[in-house]
Amino acid sequence: MNNAEIVDLLELTGRLMELHERDAFKTRAFQTAAFNLDKTTAELSQLPVDELVKLPGVGKSVAQKIHEINETGRLADLDALLAETPAGVLDMFRIKGLGVKKVRTLWRELGIDTLAELRTAGEEGRIASIKGFGASTQEKILDALTFLQEQQGKVRMDRADELAQRLREQLVPHFGRVEISGQVRRRVQEVDTVQLLLQTTDPLSAMLTLRGLPNLTINERESSPFVWRGKAEGYDVAIELRLEAPDQLDRQLFIQSAAGAHLKQPGSAGVALLQAAYISNDPSETAIYERAGLPYVVPEMREDDFAFRWSTQHHHTHLVTWEDLRGTLHNHSTWSDGKESVASMAAYTRELGLSYFGIADHSKTASYAHGLSVEQVLAQHKEIDQLNAGFGTDFRIFKGIESDILGDGSLDYDNEILAHFDYVVASVHQTLSMTLEKATTRLLRAIENPYTTILGHPTGRLLLAREGYPIDHRAVIDACAEHGVVIEINASPYRLDIDWRWIDYAMQRGVLLSINPDAHNLAGLLDMHYGVDVARKGGLTAEMTFNALPLDEMATYLQQRRNRISN
């Protein structure tokens, strides 16, 4: 098991111990260990007990439990707790705002042990009558249940990508050609079907092969002689494997990878794109668009007619690519809640071929993430100066901060400290329950702050887990245009925020967008790939991508912005 999986088991054990009101000291031991180990860079699976106890927050008892996990892949204490806990009670932990104490109250006092019963209790007003809940909490629970219901059967882009690649590796030995298609190829941020096309001249034998593969379960009702449908072990998302003849695979790869609204688009040749796909003698994608009399559209943009409207002003070769990126500006280190040092993160950034690394650790209000005090800010800057002294002219670390936007829209350092940074990413992290007016006003004030360089993850959403707070996107983007503030495309597959549908409007208003990984470890830097995917989906050009600026231009931009503030 990797560190994240081990920490998840410890965290769940601590949570369930608290739920069942087990020994408070032992409960805190699990919770403390999980909290501390979430940041460790040590390979937990490789450490013996006598080394584990040297890690922060790990006592001998928990070290033995980690050893048990490493040896067996399980934890007997957790298995026992799970056996006592209805599955529906576990599901309640997914409800925003429901901590252990509230879940225990709902289970013990109202006898609720399924999400369906929770919804019924809310609709009947029984939750509001419980001490410590009230009508507001009841309404939030009902809203959260609706949101979760809408997300059932979906996975984030990264999970869909992972599954598609695993399936492809499993299928390639059995088929002449295997292509990932559908929503995954189109880079949809929330995927409900992972689809692959399999080349075969013998569908009957091919279907028998699919039925014999491990970890795949067919849905007999939904499948047909030419389409296998089912699930993969460990993934709550539909899988569709389509069997295609060799001379039809390219044609179907195009058709299956475009949304219906895109395929309906009529072209100057007098035929819709779907019709052109079937009548074109050349099944290549470029030939299909030519046959319809339409400009070529990259797979990411094949959602509706937006791409064709976009094409009146741009060419698909103008879209940003990974190769266009020159640096990364929203990253965290062990100074706050990251898992690697500034030096390690910068070194890996350099290995990736980028020429600058921006550190933007959490600010002082973010105590939950070990936000930096003023003294720590100054100490970090001294460290960065020392590191920069060791680089040549081809690489630099920029001094940034992710400053919390407080409830009134102000940033959580005074101007004297903000002036020390090369740039400031301003983000909302707390008090997320807001009306559209409140949230928009809060962001507008932060944007008006002359020290705000980048507006971070503008809606605060977590895909499939938490809806973002409502904002007036046009007003926010217009304000960024007025004040010269860059908007972040948070590339973490958990966020992908700002939503791709607002990228084109931002470009129209002359607002630059920065593809930021929000990386907390080395692997997190690679999340910029997902950011590029959704940026291309929204039509972002390299010219309008902030972190596509070369090092010298970025340094000049940031310095000139600071000069304007001081003047």
Q: What is the DSSP letter of 76?
A: H
Query: E-strand spans in 193-341?
Result: 193-199, 216-218, 227-232, 238-244, 327-328
Cβ-in-10-Å burial (0-12, 13-18, 19+) of 109 comes to exposed
Nearest to 194 by CA among 205, 207, 206, 179: 179
The pLDDT assigned to 140 comes to 86
CA distance 95 to 88: 11
Residues 36-77 have pLDDT tens digits of 898 788 899 999 999 999 999 999 999 999 999 999 988 999
Q: ∠ at Cα 420 (419, 426), nearest 5°?
A: 65
In the chain, the domains with their CATH numbers are: 3-151 (1.10.150.110), 153-256 (3.30.460.10), 258-314 (no CATH), 322-566 (3.20.20.140)
Task: Give me the sign of the Cα torsion angle 552, 557, 559, 560.
Answer: positive
Q: What is the DSSP letter of 501?
A: G
Tokens representing residue 59 in the block: 């006592």
CA distance 504 to 173: 42
CA distance 279 to 297: 19
* Structure-token match 């069942």, residue found: 20
Phi, psi of 152 (to 5 degrees): -60, 140
- pTM here is 0.86
CA distance 57 to 516: 32
Q: What is the largest CA-CA distance in the chain?
A: 76
Q: Which residues of the chain have pLDDT under 50?
A: none
Q: ∠ at Cα 254 (250, 255), nearest 5°?
A: 115
Are residues 246 and 199 in contact, defined by beta-carbon separation less than 8 angstroms? yes
Are residues 133 and 215 in contact, defined by beta-carbon separation less than 8 angstroms? no
The pLDDT assigned to 39 comes to 79
Q: What 3 state SS string does 203-234 have?
A: HHHHHHHHHCCCCEEECCCCCECCEEEEEECC
The pLDDT assigned to 406 comes to 96
Tell me the C-alpha to C-alpha distance, in Å, between residue 330 and each of 250, 361, 363, 430, 527.
39, 8, 13, 18, 12
Are residues 495 and 462 in contact, defined by beta-carbon separation less than 8 angstroms? yes
Are residues 447 and 455 in contact, defined by beta-carbon separation less than 8 angstroms? yes
Three-class SS state of 38: coil
Residue 4: count other Cβ atoms within 10 Å of its Cβ. 12
